[in-house]
């Protein structure tokens, strides 16, 4: 239930950060200004006794986030990929949150598997190990199928995880509502819609049948990608709380020493990680949205193996083109075109000045491109871009949240492999290739062909649609409170009908 009682959860959060010593560590990591530090300590100290002390054997930040629960752990996982934001030491500490959390017992896991598959564990698996990895939502066991002898990974949800996430998400909704109430200017960022978007993502992650389906679709999209592997879903052994896949054998991508010892080229791997993500996002519109080191391995042949498909991102073709044009514009330092794309997509209100917006974008881009290659960051660009778009009234684009967040995570992973990587140079060939394929003459012909196919399906219904629109128009004109905008509906439909024939002819010829 979303209500004032969630204040208690937010107080607990501040109190736990203070009690575990994480408050100072976090403020130091983000280089918080003095006024914010003073305010945080003054507000946190009186409630310190209400916080959870966590596990004293772990570093303060890990101790606090683990004590606060899965939603906070997810936040820590993201920060663990950004040493440029929180520092190398903090990033190294937070990496524990990716797959080394306290596990639940193998007895509990087996009970859940039996209940889900409605079959005794021993008849399905002739070997079922202790947990080999434990994350915020589930843990993984290594097992062997009794009927084939194949080694597999069995993922099992944590007991009570749904309730735990619901509690935190409700508190986040309450906090978002309070922010909107106390700071009206924040409403353009649509904080409640942002929370709703992530709620949908997280709740989908809590049904492992959906994750299995996501893995299957992702595999179909990427089967021709060189240097990339995915484990195979074992559908007969999957359910809502259990998922079984082939075992992914490799070196963890977060272990640079092991990668070097295995003879892999970290520079090549760093470029591959970034380019694979951009290909999946731009080419397919379907991408792994949780690409931290805990979900990636390097196979013996140098291929990157991805797993854990609980969070996948989708963006439609139009949004992909907008995103690619914005990236391409920044790569070419064509700030006028970047500004125009924002206006064309409706990201910036039409009453703003495009030339002024272009100059503001130049103020964002030029300092970044003037940096040494090792300091060029898409993460910093997104942060600066956010500041500029705020001035020009741009609202939060919920459909881009996962894309932007994953871009930041992937950049962090790539830089952990090669700190000297030039992000823009590596991204350029992928973005340029997509631009050629999606915005050139062939793309126009393809778009017209697809539009014609859609119109052809609706062709037999166009007379009825036009007639219904005309009737509504007549009713609107007879109404004592006419609404002039409705009058355009019929003409729009008539225009669409006339344009259909032209579009169909052009597409056919193309």
Is the domain of 301 the same as that of 406? yes
| 427-443 mean pLDDT | 78
What percent of the chain lies above the pLDDT cut of 70?
A: 75
pLDDT per position as a tens digit, 67-86 = 887 777 877 776 675 665 56
Tell me whether residue 120 is in a domain. Answer: no
Tell me whether residue 297 is in a domain. Answer: yes
- Surface-to-core class of residue 163, CB atoms within 10 Å of its CB (0-12 exposed, 13-18 middle, 19+ buried): exposed
Give me the pLDDT at residue 477, please. Answer: 65
Is the domain of 49 the same as that of 175? no
Q: What crossing angle do the helices spanning 191-205 and 208-222 adopt, rounded to 10°?
A: 90
Of 147, 99, 93, 89, residue with least CA distance to 123: 147
For the chain, the domain total comes to: 4
Tell me whether residue 432 is in a domain. Answer: yes
Contact status, residue 326 vs residue 342, Cβ threshold 8 Å: yes
Is the domain of 277 the same as that of 425? yes
Is the domain of 339 the same as that of 428? yes
pLDDT per position as a tens digit, 389-419 = 777 877 666 666 677 778 878 888 998 999 8
Range in 7-11, 258-262, 414-418 with the lowest mean pLDDT: 7-11
Is the domain of 361 the same as that of 452? no
pLDDT per position as a tens digit, 206-235 = 899 999 999 999 999 999 999 999 999 999
- Please give the Cα distance from 404 to 6 (Å, whole number): 29
Is the domain of 430 the same as that of 471? no
Is the domain of 85 the same as that of 186? no
On the question of pLDDT at 35 being above 60, the answer is yes
Range in 196-205, 372-381, 409-418 with the lowest mean pLDDT: 372-381
Tell me whether residue 460 is in a domain. Answer: yes
Give me the pLDDT at residue 68, please. Answer: 84
| 289-307 mean pLDDT | 92
Contact status, residue 167 vs residue 9, Cβ threshold 8 Å: yes
Is the domain of 357 the same as that of 376? yes
Tell me whether residue 116 is in a domain. Answer: no
| 309-316 mean pLDDT | 87
Range of the structural domain that residue 77 is part of: 6-98
Tell me whether residue 106 is in a domain. Answer: no
Q: Which residues are catalytic?
A: 290
Contact status, residue 7 vs residue 45, Cβ threshold 8 Å: no
On average, the pLDDT of the chain sits at 79
Is the domain of 176 the same as that of 309? no
Please name the helix (run of DSSP H) or strand (run of DSSP E) that holds residue 157, with its range, or none.
Answer: strand 151-157
| 370-383 mean pLDDT | 64
Give me the pLDDT at residue 494, please. Answer: 36
Tokens standing for residue 176? 């978002």
On the question of pLDDT at 509 being above 50, the answer is no
pLDDT per position as a tens digit, 98-152 = 666 788 999 999 999 999 999 999 999 999 999 998 887 889 999 999 999 999 9
CB proximity list for 460: less than 8 A, separation 6 or greater: none
Tell me whether residue 134 is in a domain. Answer: no
- Domain boundary residue among 98, 119, 141? 98
Tell me whether residue 26 is in a domain. Answer: yes
444 pLDDT tier (thresholds 50, 70, 90): low
Is the domain of 289 the same as that of 429? yes
Is the domain of 273 the same as that of 405? yes
- Domain boundary residue among 66, 98, 130? 98
Q: Is the pTM of this model over 0.75?
A: no
- Domain boundary residue among 45, 80, 98? 98
On the question of pLDDT at 496 being above 60, the answer is no
- Top mean-pLDDT range of 10-14, 297-301, 366-370: 297-301
Is the domain of 195 the same as that of 258? no
């Amino acid at each position: 239930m979303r209500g004032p009682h969630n204040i208690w959860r937010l107080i607990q959060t501040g109190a736990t950060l203070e009690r575990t010593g994480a408050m100072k560590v976090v403020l130091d990591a983000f280089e918080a200004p003095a006024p914010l530090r003073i305010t945080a300590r003054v507000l946190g100290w009186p409630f310190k006794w209400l916080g959870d002390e966590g596990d004293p054997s772990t570093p303060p930040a890990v101790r606090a986030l683990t004590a606060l629960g899965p939603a906070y752990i997810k936040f820590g996982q993201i920060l663990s990929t950004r040493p440029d934001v929180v520092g190398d030491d903090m990033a190294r500490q937070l990496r524990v949150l990716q797959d080394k959390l306290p596990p639940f017992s193998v007895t509990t896991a087996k009970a859940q598997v039996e209940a889900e598959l409605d079959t005794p564990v021993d008849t399905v698996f002739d070997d079922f190990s202790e947990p080999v990895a434990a994350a915020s939502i589930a843990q993984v066991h290594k097992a062997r199928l009794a009927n084939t002898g194949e080694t597999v990974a069995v993922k099992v949800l944590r007991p009570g995880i749904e309730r735990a996430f619901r509690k935190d998400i409700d508190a986040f909704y309450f906090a978002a509502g309070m922010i909107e109430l106390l700071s009206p200017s924040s409403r353009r960022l649509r904080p409640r819609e942002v929370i709703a978007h992530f709620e949908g993502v997280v709740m989908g992650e809590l049904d492992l049948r959906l994750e299995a389906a996501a893995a299957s679709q992702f595999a179909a999209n990427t089967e021709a990608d060189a240097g990339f592997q995915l484990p195979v879903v074992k559908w007969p052994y999957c359910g809502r709380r259990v998922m079984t896949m082939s075992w992914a054998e490799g070196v963890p991508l977060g272990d640079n020493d092991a990668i070097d010892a295995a003879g892999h080229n970290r520079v090549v791997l760093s470029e591959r990680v970034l380019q694979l993500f951009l290909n999946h996002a731009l080419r397919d519109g379907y991408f792994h949205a949780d690409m931290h080191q805990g979900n990636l391995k390097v196979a013996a042949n140098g291929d990157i193996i991805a797993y854990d498909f609980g969070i996948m991102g989708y963006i439609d073709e139009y949004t992909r083109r907008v995103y690619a044009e914005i990236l391409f514009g920044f790569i070419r330092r064509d700030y006028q075109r970047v500004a125009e794309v924002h206006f064309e997509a409706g990201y910036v209100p039409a009453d703003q000045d495009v030339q002024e917006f272009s100059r503001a974008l130049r103020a964002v881009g030029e300092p970044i491109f003037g940096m040494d290659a090792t300091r060029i960051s898409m993460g910093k660009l997104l942060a600066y871009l956010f500041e500029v778009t705020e001035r020009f009234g741009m609202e939060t684009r919920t459909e881009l949240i996962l894309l932007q967040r994953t871009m930041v995570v992937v950049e962090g992973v790539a830089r952990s492999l090669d700190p000297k990587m030039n992000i823009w140079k590596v991204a350029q060939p992928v973005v340029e290739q997509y631009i050629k394929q999606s915005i050139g003459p062939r793309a126009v012909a393809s778009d017209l062909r697809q539009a014609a196919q859609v119109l052809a399906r609706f062709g037999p219904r166009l007379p009825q649609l036009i007639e219904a629109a005309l009737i509504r128009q007549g009713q609107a004109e007879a109404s004592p409170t006419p609404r002039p905008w409705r009058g355009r509906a019929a003409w729009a439909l008539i225009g669409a009908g006339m344009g259909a024939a032209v579009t169909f002819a052009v597409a056919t010829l193309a």
